[in-house]
Structure formats: structure tokens, C-alpha cells
Amino acid sequence: MDAKTNYLLRLGDNALVLSQRLSELCGKGPALEEDMALTNVALDLLGQARMWLTYAGELEGRGRDEDALAYGRDAHDFTNVLLVEQPNGNYADTLMRQFFFDTWHYFLIGALTKSSDERIAGIAEKSLKEVTYHLRRSGDLIVRLGDGTDISHRYAQKAADELWMYSGEVFNYDAVDEAMVEAGIAPPAAHLRQQWLDHVADIFAEATLTMPPADAWMQKGGKQGRHSEHLGYLLAEMQFLQRAYPGAEW
Amino acid sequence: MQAAAQLTHDQVWAWLAAVPDPEIPVISVVDLGIVRAVQVTGDDAVSVTITPTYSGCPAMQVIEDAVRDALRQHGIGHVDIVTQLSPAWTTDWMSEEGKVKLKDYGIAPPSQQAGDMQVIDTSGLKSALKSGLKSGLAAAVSRRALPPPVVACPHCGSTHTQLTSQFGSTPCKALYKCLDCREPFDYFKCH
């Protein structure tokens, strides 16, 4: 598989796996408005995942469409970062995971609108409005939790501390990412990381939360298919129907 | 087919203007700005370019089918539908007529140009911090927050309204309530 196909799969898998995680909260949100927001964000991400995976399938040239890629691969073939497969936990965990992701996603997608690959730029242009709305919402909610009650502050801080080690993988570039940078398709890591750190620092200051150290040790491996055990359970639920009844339609 | 004999570009647009949006049936796919281009490619062949509203909008497949069906009913044998992502759909393309229809249906139309909504000012605290933390924080908050859109209640016209939820029954809407007539209503977000 060439680097661009691999890179597109990563983009698609990140959006797909986070979408599936958020969908788990459908009907279980802590308030009706939150329930709708989470599922709407999940829907946006699902739409984006479809566009990335369709393109990846076409480039790969083995006849796999978006469905074959989403439902027919095992955990070790998924290339999403570890952050998005983390369980929903409590609501502060869900929102902190979302905020870390949205901040990266916003700066990445913004940069991808200038990608040398026209189709990637088009998908990014389409996604950017949605991603902007997501970040605005998750940033606001982090401020509300952190600068809320003693209890909400404590939960938000704990979520930040525990999820922090998963926040660095997106900036840990391997040969695939570097090939994309070289081809002018994707932005380099250093600038993206600085933008991420600055924005998280801003929101955390407003939220009266303490930011864990930027140079902390970070988890990695998801992009290369080395996942936590959580992903297998997520895929088992997501893929069950197509595995049991291949090609089923309704 | 009779219609196919003098098939014109304008005729196709007129037909499409009668195809309702599947989720908000009072406005058409043309009012919404989903149909971007029409090309008559033969005696009974038409190519229609559409653009999705939101990436995950489940109505897109229905819209494609509805466009196809409508043109077939008018005797077009070959309908080619092209999906175009860029330039990305914006509520700025919604027709004025469409906005009036939305309001009459009970949905507040987008209240401003979408262009200003797409950027989050992330310059935030960094520079502002130098002028003291307190004012720095205030500056960061005001930069990040959007000036709240003035949304008029579609029922009584009052602009004394409040956001209930950033997301509503479809990706394109938010929930509001009117503080005067007390009615809840959908607001079609600027996008």
C-alpha cells in the first residue's frame, strides 16, 4: 500500500472510530441537547470518514469500497490513533477526548484545504465548517466543566491528566506522514503541534485547568495498527452485522 | 417523449425547482442551493451537479434519487448526477424566496453571512497575557466567542430569543426558544 493510501486510511479511520464511539452515547447522553450534539458530531465524522475511505479504496485499487474498508478489516489493519478508541468514560472523559481531537482536527483540516492533492483539499474544504463548529462547542464545554463546580473541575482535570498521553500520537510522524509532507499533501508536525499546544493552553487557562507538561511521555502505535484492547470490542459491535450477513442491505 | 423535443436548460431548472428537500419539504433543492449546475447533454440526457449540505447528511442519497425521479417523470431518459465538494455548500446560497418559505414553515432562516463564521480566533491569550492575566482572559474569551446572531422568532417576529442547543433535529439546525411568545423553534444555522 502506498503512502497516500495509508494516509487517507488514517484520516478515515480516525473519523470512523470516533464517530462510532460517540454513537454509543445515542439515547444515553446526560441531557437531550448533549445527546443530539454528540450524535450530530458523530454524523459529521461518519460523512467525512466515508469520503476519506472511498478515496483510499480507489487509490488502493483492490476493489474495496468504503463499506469493505469499514466492515471488513480487523483491528490490526485499522490505523486510527489510540486517542479516538479510548472508551467514553464519564462525560468529562468524553468531552476532553473530543476537545483534544477537535483542536488537532481543526488545524489539520485547515492546512489540508491547501493540500497539493486537489481531492484531499476538496474534502477538507467541505469538512472544515463542521470541524470548526465541533471545536467551538468542545472548547466551550471544557471551559464550562473546568470553570464550573468543584466536582466538574475535578473530573475535567482528571480526564485531562489521564488522556494527555494519547494526545501526542497525531504529531508523532512516521515515514508515511513524512512522505505526505514532502509531497505537499499534509502539513508538517512541528507547526501543527505548536498551534495545538497554544489553543489547548488558552482554553485550559480559561477553564482554570492545569495543562500537563508538553514534553510528557506519549503513547503511540495506533497509526501502525498496534491498538489497545478497546478497539477490538468497538469493531465487534460496529462490524457484527456485515460479518454475520456479508453484503446485507436494507 | 414530448418534453424532450425542446429540452432547454431553463426548463430543467424549473423542474428541479419543484423537487422538495426531503427533510424540509416546503423548500426545494434549488432554493437550498444544493443544485449547482445543469447541463443538457442530449435530446433526453441531462447532467446535474449537486453538492452536499453536511458531509454526513443522510438526505443526500434521497435528494439524488428525487432529482433522478423528477427528471425521469419529465421524460429524461439519461440522468447523470455529479457530486461536487468544492466550493463547499454554504447557506449564503439559499434563495431569498427559500428563506421566506422557511420562516413561514416555522424555521428561522440563517440570519447572517456564513463567511464570518468559519474561523476561530486562536491567537488567544499569548499576546494578551502581556497586558495582565485578567484582561488577557477577557480578550481571549471575546475573541473566541462569536457575536451571538440575532435570530428572529419565526412565530412572533421578536428578536428576544435564546439558544437552547447548538444542534437540533438535523445537522443543519439549532434549537432556540422565544422569550416573548415562549415558543421553541428551529434555527437554520449559518454554514
Tens-digit pLDDT profile for residues A16-28: 999 999 999 999 9
A81 belongs to a structural domain: yes
Is the Cβ of A68 closer than 8 Å to some Cβ of chain B?
A: no
Confidence label for B112 from pLDDT (cuts 50, 70 and 90): confident
A249 belongs to a structural domain: no
Work out the end-to-end distance of chain A between its first and last CA atoms, rounded to an integer number of angstroms.
32
- State the angle between helix axes of A118-146 and A91-112 in degrees (0 to 180), rounded to the nearest 10: 150
> Could you give the residue ranges of the DSSP H alpha helices within chain B?
2-5, 9-16, 59-73, 96-105, 124-128, 133-144
Mean pLDDT of B117-131: 57
The predicted pLDDT at position B166 comes to 86
Tens-digit pLDDT profile for residues A194-217: 999 999 999 999 999 999 999 999
Is the Cβ of A102 closer than 8 Å to some Cβ of chain B?
A: no
Mean pLDDT of B42-62: 92
Mean pLDDT of A156-169: 98
A250 belongs to a structural domain: no
Question: CB distance B55–A51 less than 8 Å?
Answer: yes
Mean pLDDT of B58-87: 94
A114 against B167, higher pLDDT: A114
A84 against B118, higher pLDDT: A84
A205 belongs to a structural domain: yes
Q: Which residues of A are less than 8 Å from B124 in CB distance? A: 198-199, 201-202
Mean pLDDT of A116-145: 95
Confidence check on the interface: ipTM exceeds 0.90, yes or no: no
The nearest CA of chain A is from the CA of B8 a distance in Å of 31
Domain count for chain A, please give it.
1
Mean pLDDT of A70-95: 98
Is the Cβ of B82 closer than 8 Å to some Cβ of chain A?
A: no
Mean pLDDT of A68-83: 98
pLDDT at residue B129 is higher than 80: no
pLDDT at residue A38 is higher than 60: yes
- The amino acid sitting at B21 is D
Mean pLDDT of A183-188: 98
- Superfamily grouping for domain B2-89: Fe-S cluster assembly (FSCA) (3.30.300.130)
Burial B118-138 (b: 16+ CB within 10 A, else e): bebebebbeebbeeeeeebbe
DSSP chain A: --HHHHHHHHHHHHHHHHHHHHHTTTTT-SSHHHHHHHHHHHHHHHHHHHHHHHHHHHHHTSS--HHHHHHS--GGG----HHHHS---SHHHHHHHHHHHHHHHHHHHHHHTT-SSHHHHHHHHHHHHHHHHHHHHHHHHHHHHHTS-HHHHHHHHHHHHHHGGGSSGGG---HHHHHHHHTTSS--HHHHHHHHHHHHHHHHHHTTPPPPPTTS-----GGGT---THHHHHHHHHHHHHHHSTT---
Q: What is the mean pLDDT of chain B?
A: 85
Domain with residue A55: its CATH number is: 1.20.1260.10
A166 against B61, higher pLDDT: A166
Confidence label for A250 from pLDDT (cuts 50, 70 and 90): confident
User: What's the pTM?
Assistant: 0.92
The predicted pLDDT at position B4 comes to 46
DSSP A116-139: SSHHHHHHHHHHHHHHHHHHHHHH
A239 belongs to a structural domain: yes
Percent of chain A with pLDDT over 90: 97
Question: Strands B78-83 and B184-188, how do they pair?
Answer: unpaired
Confidence label for B152 from pLDDT (cuts 50, 70 and 90): very high
Q: How far apart are CA B56 and CA A44, in angstroms?
A: 5
In terms of CA atoms, which chain B residue is nearest residue A110?
Answer: B119
Q: How far apart are CA A15 and CA A46, in angstroms?
A: 6
The predicted pLDDT at position B46 comes to 96
- A73-77, A82-86, A179-183, B57-61, range with the lowest pLDDT: B57-61
Q: For chain B, which residues make up each domain, given as ranges?
A: 2-89, 92-188
* For testing contact with chain A, the best of B54, B113, B119 (most A CBs within 10 A): B54
And the C-alpha cell for B63? Answer: 435528494
DSSP A4-16: HHHHHHHHHHHHH
Is the Cβ of B143 closer than 8 Å to some Cβ of chain A?
A: no
The predicted pLDDT at position B145 comes to 61
Is the Cβ of A187 closer than 8 Å to some Cβ of chain B?
A: no
Q: What is the mean pLDDT of chain A?
A: 97
SS3 category, B95: coil
The predicted pLDDT at position B59 comes to 87
Is the Cβ of B149 closer than 8 Å to some Cβ of chain A?
A: no
The predicted pLDDT at position B170 comes to 85
The predicted pLDDT at position B58 comes to 84
pLDDT at residue B117 is higher than 90: no
Question: CB distance B86–A125 less than 8 Å?
Answer: yes
Residues within 8 A of A (CB atoms), B 62-81 only = none
